Structure 1
Amino acid sequence: MRGQRMAEQGRTPGRTQGYAGTWPPRQAAQAGGFAPAGFSVWPSFIAKLREWIAAEAGAGRLLPWVPIAFGVGIAFYFAAEHEPVAPVAAVAAIGLCVAAFLLRRQKLFPFAVMVAATAAGFATATWKTKLIGHGVLARPMYAVSLSGFVETRDIRERTDRFVLRVTQMESPRGQTKLERVRLSVRKGTAPAVGSFVELKARLQPPLAPMRPGSYDFGRDIFFQGIGASGFVTGSIKTLEPPLSGGLSLRYAALMQGLRDAIDARIRTALDGDKRAIATALLTGRRDAITTPVNDAMFISGLGHVLSISGYHVVLCFSSIQEASLSTVFMGFSEKARDGFGR
């Protein structure tokens, strides 16, 4: 018995005492063989994840996820290898929305709502593309005669740019018809918004992404209804329009007139960089901002404020912050008054 006990413990007469055993210890190993030390964490993590999902699918918490699923459907549309069939996408989205409504009292209702919202986003992007579909220039064109209405005008640092709604297009080498083109001209020579002009231009197809996965300029201007870009090669003639430009063109001309009036008023009241920044914040014109000020704004992270949208975001955030601070201070004042009153 003594020899057997010594053999089990690895003890040999005349040698140092040792111990022989298996690794890992039997108490740490799970039934069925060896398992990683952190493997037991996964069941608790999965249970916690299910608890979170159940909480997010609770009453009043499902709605914020609907626009996210809608955006995922739009992303699926842009990731598609070919153009989907619009009627099929619409019928599928309607069917899934009806199914989600019928399952409103079932446990699958949250999942059905997410699937229906994704299908709705996919169908919306498909029909949006179909509704604004227009001609796009495939190869460069030279000496193109264009006539139409000026819809927008963008005054830039070195050149001006405007969008022309084409009513007539003639080219000696092609029969391509475009609805809108974006043209660049020398600074200070862009025609007024709402005017009817006639000109000659050199047109280029929309720019493709510079590298795979980068920003797609062509897709951006496609959804703006623009089929080509280029520059004016001759003089611009302003003519009497043969037809009315419509209510939207009148509205654009009115708004551009207001911007020009605001810009003229600022130029008479301020000067230097103050005038340039005020004009950029109120009208969106950034051509007068000097390079040092422009670089300082972007380096400090305030470059987005120079755009109209960024300015509106700052105003909205400032209003919310001021309202929040006012509420806090009012509550603190009431508590302090009650304390002093005692």
Structure 2
Amino acid sequence: MSEGGAGGVLHLVLNGPLYFALGLCLGAMVYFASPVEPGWGGGVAAGACILGGGILALQRTGSFVIRLAAMLLVGAVCGATISKLHTQIRAAPPVQSVIGPAMVEGWVTAIEPGTKGVRLRIDVHAISGVASTDMPAHIRLTHSLSLNVAPGRFVRCWSVLRPPPQPSMPGDYAFNRQAFFEGLDAVGYVQGRCRGGPLGTRAGLWDHAKTLLAVTRRALAVHVKDAAGERAGGFAAALASGDRSFMSQEDMEALRRSGLAHLLAISGLHLGIVGGLVYVSTRRLLALWEWLALRIPVQKPAAAIALIMSGAYLLLSGASISTQRAFIMAAVFFGAILLDRSPLSFRSFAVAMIAVILIQPHSVMTPGFQMSFAATGALIATYLVWREHDETRQAGKRNRYVFSLQSLVVTSIIGAAATAPFALYHFDRVAPGGIWANLMAMPIITFISAPMAGLAMATAPIGLDEPFLRLFGWSLEQVLNIAHWVSARPGSGLTISDPMPALVLVVMSVGLVAVCLVTGLRRRVSALAITTSLAALAWFSAPRTILHWSPSGEVLIRTNAQGWQKLDVADGDGLSPLTLADLSASDVCKGKDCIFETAIGRVAISDMDGEAGCPGRASVILYTGVTAPPCAQGAGLISWSDNVAAGGISLVKPFIGPYRRSTPKCGQRKWQPCLQE
């Protein structure tokens, strides 16, 4: 075997778990992105062939490329199989038609913020007119009036329920898939106000424990909000308990536009701060006990205590999917310390990714999974290069404050660069000002907010936590001031003119992996240049959505003159797509004809009847009238009734050829039931 081949095989041996984890991720993504449900028969046969061939290739060949491909394929087969099993063990969605208005009774488990009111998570006890066999178990209701109930309370709400909506626009986020795996059976809204009911807490041990935890979490949020001060009390409650219902929409929007929205989601950052603070404090306290420090490595009990406290924080914060994922990563980190392994390595990174995919395979399609692992992987790669650079220079004792400042700057830049493609794909925007916002805010969070929160937690049993919570709130006031200041600066938010195609994200993700794993500056620059070129080519040649008419009545249209516009042309009860959600809707086309020139020809919007409904010669007519216009035979007519029946209609223009009409498909995946009238 040649020296280069031996080096490649050694690289695979050292990074085998990472490539297997990437294969798992690839297989899960292919499974969930498939338009139809893969069958067990053909899937098992193909998987067995690929798995057998991959294992054989790993044993017999010395080629780096073949062994790498075999390792990825073996992982992909395992990832797709795990995803299929997770889908099969879940029951089909029980709600397949609109329910109500009906009286819904159940226990409130959580309260979440929303743009149209707070959202109540309810474990259902009964629904009027619905048999127990057809009744959803867990629902989410939007409550627009003032709220007089709290988690743990039995409530009665006059409500309208519907299945979790599936995306109506190609490439939009599949909320129905997320709801299916989270066990959310229906969503809806309250007509009037929810009121307390006669039943008390639930009798079952597990249900009683969940209710007690929800009540404790809400009580913690209220206590922290009141003690931290009016300005930042809601922010403090969100960080302490994960309950964001006390935060104003203005503050949440400022955090989002300034690139500080990651502070709101209880994720790796929060568990890292909590676990790291407990670990460092415990390790230093144990080191002061000379008898113990001379007999056992004090980092191990410190890691165990930090892991326990991270688990407690997981429960108090509501144990959301993102928090569970962050806890798994924290458990791998502290577990590596307990097992005398390096916690900051690609091997630990791979173990965390494998564990998350085994437990939550559907999370590979979520922005939280993608952005957190992208940032973590890029930071580990940077840390390894930095360490190698220090070893080469044989640097002496570094200045602690200079090193902390350097680490903060590098972490902010690398984290922002690694997550930018995913932010552009999922949110159509990236926050360049987020680098400066994080540089200003993170020292406050790390050196003031976190220690004050820790001291408040330590002194709460003796009732001395309020002074520390007040300082905690003051520090968060400064973070909010930074967020509002940065978000108000010109150029703080960059919005792309066209939604990013999925293929572009795939290319950029592969490029990010390559940049992190290759060695040498020249190879990294080459990988970056190749990735940029391929991504640009994929973006330029990908099919483009020119028009989308959603069930909500809004039209997204890409015109030749002004780019994307959002028009409110009809009154529907569906949901608008998350794509280009920042565009404000105009009602300029309500009550009159509008004509736009697009890449698929002239598009007309009309709500007039009879001959007045023929606004010139048009390739496409969006018609909201009652009777069909006479010119419909010579143009592509899309009526409002057809759009509602289809659940949304999009017109997609491929790189070559005429446009095609795209509508949501139902019944092809378990989380996409066909709705009944």
With structure 1 as the length reference, what TM-score do the two structures score? Answer: 0.65
Paired position in structure 1 for 2:396: 332
1:236 maps onto 2:190 in alignment: no
- d(CA) in 2 for partners of 1:146 and 1:94? 48
Going from structure 1 to structure 2, the CA distance change for 1:287 and 1:139 (only over 3 Å counts) comes to same
1:101 to 1:208, Cα distance in 2 relative to 1, 3 A: closer
Residue type of the alignment partner of 1:306: L
Could you say which residue in structure 2 is the equivalent of 1:299?
A: 257
Distance 1:145 1:287, change over 3 A: closer
- Equivalent in 175, 183, 197 of residue 225 of structure 1: 183
1:273 to 213, 231, 234: 231
> 1:61 Cα shift?
2.0
The equivalent of 1:74 in structure 2 is 28
Matching residue within 39, 44, 47 for 1:85: 39
* Residue pair 2:239, 2:263 contacting (<8 A) in 1 also: yes
Measured in 2, the distance between the counterparts of 1:184 and 1:114 equals: 43
Q: Which has the higher helix share?
A: 2
Q: Which amino acid aligns with 1:236?
A: R
- Which residue number corresponds to residue 315 of structure 1? 273
Residue aligning to 1:182 = 140
2:151 is aligned with what amino acid?
Answer: V
What secondary structure, in the 3-state scheme, does the structure 2 residue paired with 1:206 have?
Answer: coil
Aligned partner of 2:104 in structure 1 is 146
Q: Quote the Cα distance in structure 2 between the aligned partners of 1:180 and 1:266.
A: 28
Q: Is contact 1:193–1:252 with CA below 8 Å preserved after alignment?
A: no
CA 1:94/1:170 → structure 2, altered by over 3 Å: closer, same or farther? farther
Separation of aligned partners in 1, 2:221 and 2:136: 33
CA distance in structure 2 between the partners assigned to 1:81 and 1:299 by the alignment: 34
Q: Given the superposition, is the C-alpha separation of residues 166 and 302 from structure 1 closer, same or farther in structure 2, using an over 3 Å criterion?
A: same
Partner deviation per Cα, 1:282-310 (whole Å, 9 max, x = no partner): 12333444555444433331122133226
CA distance in 1, matches of 2:87, 2:7: 34
Aligned to 2:461: none
Give yes or no for the alignment of 1:284 onto 2:348: no
- In 1, the alpha carbon distance for the partners of 2:138 and 2:163 equals 12
Alignment of 1:7-156 (within 5 A): 54=8, 58-86=12-40, 89=43, 93=47, 105-107=59-61, 110-156=68-114
Read off the aligned partner of 1:332 and give its amino acid letter.
G
**What is the rounded CA distance, in whole Å, between the counterparts of 2:123 and 2:249 in structure 1?**
33
* Higher mean displacement: 308-317 or 277-286: 308-317
Q: In the aligned structure 1, how far is the partner of 2:196 from the partner of 2:80?
A: 44
Mapped partners of 1:207, 1:230: distance in 2? 10
CA distance in 2, matches of 1:291, 1:242: 32
**Partner deviation per Cα, 1:90-146 (whole Å, 9 max, x = no partner):** 676577656655665322655443222111111111111121233253332222233
- CA gap of 1:53–1:135, structure 2 versus 1, over 3 A, is farther
Which residue among 202, 205, 226 is the counterpart of 2:160? 202
When Rg is computed on C-alpha atoms for both structures, the one with the higher figure is: 1
Q: Are the equivalent residues in 1 in contact too, given 2:123–2:138 (CA < 8 A)?
A: yes
Q: 1:311 to 1:111 in 2, by over 3 A?
A: closer
What is the match of residue 264 of structure 1?
Answer: 222
For 2:270, the aligned partner's letter is: H
1:144-187: CA deviations, max 9, x gaps?
A: 233344333325576222222334334389x9432322112245
In structure 2, distance between residues paired with 1:74 and 1:180 = 26
Alpha-carbon shift at residue 53 of structure 1 (Å): 9.8
Distance 1:277 1:149, change over 3 A: closer
Q: Distance in 2 between matches of 1:167 and 1:86?
A: 36
Asked whether the 8 Å contact 2:103–2:157 carries over to 1, the reply is: yes
SS at match of 2:215: helix
1:160 aligns with 2:224: no
- How much is the aligned-residue C-alpha RMSD, in angstroms? 4.1
Inter-partner Cα distance in structure 2 for 1:268 and 1:242: 26
Question: Partners of 2:100 and 2:6 in 1: how far apart?
Answer: 61
Contact 1:89 1:122 in 2 (8 A): no
Other structure's SS at 1:144 match = strand
* CA distance in structure 2 between the aligned counterparts of 1:223 and 1:202, rounded to whole angstroms: 22
CA drift at 1:51: 6.6
Q: 1:156 to 1:253 in 2, by over 3 A?
A: farther
For residue 212 of structure 1, report the CA deviation from its aligned partner.
0.7
In structure 2, relative to structure 1, the CA distance for the partners of 1:239 and 1:92 (3 Å cut) is farther
1:222 positional shift:
1.7
Q: Structure 1 residues 297 and 53 mapped into 2: Cα distance closer, same or farther (>3 Å)?
A: farther
Q: Distance in 2 between matches of 1:54 and 1:60?
A: 10
Percentage identity across aligned positions? 21
CA distance in 2, matches of 1:269, 1:192: 19
Taking a change above 3 Å as real, the CA distance of residues 95 and 194 of structure 1, as seen in their structure-2 partners, is farther
Whole-angstrom distance in 2 between the partners of 1:116 and 1:190? 54
Give the TM-score normalised by structure 2.
0.36
Tell me the alpha carbon deviations over residues 219-270 of structure 1, each in whole angstroms, 9 at most, x when there is no partner.
22122112221122354342336963451x3343233233333333324433
Kept in 2: contact 1:200–1:232 (CA 8 A): yes
Write the letter of the residue equivalent to 2:36.
Answer: H
Matched length: 279
Secondary structure (helix, strand or coil) at the match of 2:267 reads helix
The alignment partner of 2:121 has SS state of: strand
